[in-house]
Amino acid sequence: MAGYSKIEYFRVPPRWMFVRIESTGGYVGWGEATLECHDEAVEGALSHLIRLYTGWPTDNIEDLWQAAYRTGFYRGGEVLMSAIAGIDIALWDLKGKRLGVPVWSLLGGLVRDRVQVYCWIGGDRPDDVAIQAIEKKQAGFKAVKMNATEDLARLDSPAKLQASVARLKAVKDQGLDAGVDFHGRVHRPMAKQLAALLEPLHPLFIEEPLLPGFVPEIAAIARQSGIPIALGERLFTRQDFRPYLEQGAVDIVQPDVSHAGGISETRRIAILAETYDVGFAPHCPNGPIALAASIAMDLTLPNFVIQEMSWKIHYNVGADLLTYVKNPDIFKVEDGMIKAPLGPGLGLEIDEELVRKVAKDHKPWEGSFWRGEDGAIREW
């Protein structure tokens, strides 16, 4: 049975972490371990896992996942789960290539032959959303997502929420559906007001209405509002999602395959959510490998609803979704959807030469933060 002969990772622009695994049989799989703002922490975790698991059988994906997750005494958390994700995704890709079948075939086969997608408009301080909505509609999209607000004080002027309503109306006027991301930057006193103001405009969903951890408080907003509640990019295991599901705090789970332990655990989260009649809409403002891995799951899961993609997102400075992809048509959007890839593995052809070239000098991606008028730090 083939084992790993080499496991490598590459930090590449704009803010992504790619993982490459080569088997003793000569097959290569690519994964993604992107964790925004924490490149060096993930690199440390990857170095540790590489030392432990180089030489293990490449076929035994679940065995390695369990070992990486359970045998270090401390488990879970965004850093470890992102490192595991990079290796896990690469192993699924490698196995599909070795067997000559798509990853979606290994996961049980198709329940649909295309997936609905959305992309971003606006930015961290959202503006020009109507113009960008037109651009995305012309590119084939039927849905978009945007930040709800700029930074807000814990209790701010209600007048600051009116711009959020105007932006959503401007996008809806272009004939597009729109998800509205509170991004955890809207605190409880303002979140209740904003949800009530947006509800008459029927957003596709509101995302992270409060920061992770406020489970009863999010459940209260869910009871108050008829808008679907989406969350989960900062939750990393089934155990993390469990209280939100049990308390009725979520309508759409959004685990990120590059944060939540890869295909293996993200798929289990989706299956758990289905038992609560909760939809699955993977978070993915990251790179092409994470998107391809997400699509492989989307094609096989009955409760999938819509897929995020990072094409022209405001974070993509220095590289964009297709920069490292030799077969960009794999992500072609037609009538708001992407077709199932037919190639082996994830169906993605990565430009390895370019990856190696740009990784040599790329510095860790640093996030930013905001301060309010009083000098206090605000949520980003």
222 and 96 co-located in one domain: no
380 domain residue, yes or no: no
DSSP state of 345: B
DSSP class of 29:
E
- 183 as an active site residue: the answer is yes
Please tell me whether residues 62 and 122 are part of one structural domain.
no
CA distances from 336 to 129, 290, 303 (A): 18, 19, 18
State both tokens at 179: 């998800």
- Does residue 187 belong to any structural domain of this protein? yes
- In angstroms, the CA 117 to CA 112 distance is 14
Q: Which range marks the domain in which residue 83 is found?
A: 3-102
The pLDDT of residue 123: 75
- Residue 359 within any structural domain of the chain: no
Same domain as 136, residue 94: no
Please state, for a pLDDT cut of 90, what percent of the chain lies above it: 91
Which of 56, 76, 102 terminates a domain? The answer is 102
Q: Is the pLDDT of residue 341 over 90?
A: yes
The verdict on residue 206 lying in a domain is: yes
pLDDT of 147-205, one tens digit each?
999 889 999 999 999 999 999 999 999 999 999 999 999 999 999 999 999 999 999 99
- Residue 283 appears among annotated catalytic residues: yes
Buried b (16+ CB within 10 A) or exposed e, 287-305: bbbbbbbbbbbbbbbebbb
Q: List pLDDT tens digits, range 88-109.
A: 999 999 999 999 999 999 999 9
Q: Are residues 262 and 142 in the same domain?
A: yes
Q: Which of 102, 132, 149 is the last residue of a domain?
A: 102
Residues 170 and 65 in one domain: no
Q: Which entry of 38, 183, 187, 259 is annotated as an active-site residue? A: 183
Q: Would you say residue 272 has pLDDT above 70?
A: yes
Counted domains in the chain: 2
138 plus 220 within the same structural domain = yes
Distance CA 274, CA 293 (A): 19
**What pLDDT band is residue 367 in, cutting at 50, 70 and 90?**
confident
- From the list 38, 187, 259, 283, the catalytic residue is 283
Per-residue pLDDT band for 1 (boundaries 50, 70, 90) equals low
Mean pLDDT in residue range 348-374: 93
d(CA 55, CA 321): 32
pLDDT tens for 214-234 read: 999 999 999 999 999 999 999
pTM higher than 0.95: yes
Which of 301, 292, 305 is closest to 228 using CA atoms?
305
Indicate whether 93 and 169 sit together in one domain.
Answer: no
